Amino acid sequence: MATRKSAVETQPNDSTTNIDVAVQQHGFSGRTCEVKLFKGESGEPVEPFFGLNSYQIKLQREKWVRIPVEMADHIESLMYTVSEPDQDDPDNLEKMQWVEKQRFPLQRKD
């Protein structure tokens, strides 16, 4: 009877957290990268949850984590829009502009 090896046994321990090779290859290319989510604002989750093509993961902020490159691309693509004041005339509400920002800013090592 074959036993399933843990991520630490199947990959070199070159990051703080590794994922199992069989999981990352299920529906993905098999390529991985390391990401580190920046510290969030107060009230935001410390471990945000992400899902893509039935692959699900919780990432701890401020910790390097190895994930499939497709998941990293997905996280980087998540955006939100916020209204910001004009730098030259911040008190004029009519000059406020909608700005698109990355929802989960991160560092990435391919």
Domain ranges within the chain, ordered by starting residue:
9-109
Supply the DSSP string of 7-52, one letter for each residue. Answer: HHHHS---SSB---HHHHHSSS-S-EEEEEEPPPPTTS-SS-EEEE
Per-residue pLDDT, 78: 95
10 Å Cβ neighbour count for 82? 10
Supply the pLDDT for residue 102.
Answer: 92
Question: In the prediction, which pLDDT does 33 show?
Answer: 92
Supply the pLDDT for residue 32: 87
pTM across the whole model: 0.69
- Could you report the per-residue pLDDT of 64-109, keeping only the tens digit for each? 999 889 999 999 999 999 999 988 898 988 889 999 999 999 999 9
Give the three-state DSSP class for 99: strand
For 29-65, how does the pLDDT look when each residue is reduced to its tens digit (9 = 90+)? Answer: 888 899 999 998 888 888 999 988 888 889 999 999 9
